[in-house]
Amino acid sequence: MTLERQNVSPDELQRVNKIRRDFVANVSHELKTPATSLKLLAESLEETLDDDPVQARLFAAQLKKETERLAHLITDLLDLARLESQETVDRPTLVDVRGVLMSVLARMRRVARGKEITLQWKRFGKAAHYTVYGDETQLASMFTNLVDNAVQYTPPGGRVEVAGGSEGPEIVISISDTGIGIPEEKIPRIFERFYRVDKARSKATGGTGLGLSIVRHVAENHGGRVTVESVLGEGSTFTVYLPRA
Ligand X SMILES: Nc1ncnc2c1ncn2[C@@H]1O[C@H](COP(=O)(O)OP(=O)(O)OP(=O)(O)O)[C@@H](O)[C@H]1O
CB 83, CB 218: distance < 8 Å: yes
- Going through 81-158 in order, the beta strands assigned E by DSSP cover 93-96, 118-122, 131-134
The helix or strand, by DSSP H or E, that contains position 98, with its residue range, turns out to be: helix 97-114
Q: Scanning residues 20 to 39, which ones bind Mg ion (CB under 5 A)?
A: none
Shortest separation between residue 79's beta carbon and ligand X, angstroms: 10
Look at residues 138, 130, 206 and name the one whose alpha carbon lies nearest to residue 171.
130
CB 139, CB 93: distance < 8 Å: no
Residue 198 binding partner per list ligand X, Mg ion, none, with a CB distance cut-off of 5 to 8 Å that depends on partner kind: ligand X
Q: Which is nearer to ligand X, 132 or 182 (CB)?
A: 182
211 part of the interface to Mg ion, by CB under 5 A:
yes
Identity of the amino acid at 142: M
* Separation CA 47–CA 53 (nearest Å): 10
Q: Which is nearer to ligand X, 153 or 241 (CB)?
A: 153
In the list 138, 144, 149, 174, the residue contacting Mg ion (rule: CB under 5 A) is 149
Look at residues 206, 225, 203 and name the one whose alpha carbon lies nearest to residue 216.
225
Identity of the amino acid at 162: V
Q: Which is nearer to ligand X, 59 or 176 (CB)?
A: 176
Shortest separation between residue 211's beta carbon and Mg ion, angstroms: 3
Q: Which residue is nearest to ligand X (CB)?
A: 211
Q: Which is nearer to Mg ion, 181 or 211 (CB)?
A: 211
230 part of the interface to Mg ion, by CB under 5 A:
no
* Binding footprint of Mg ion on the chain (CB under 5 A): 149, 211
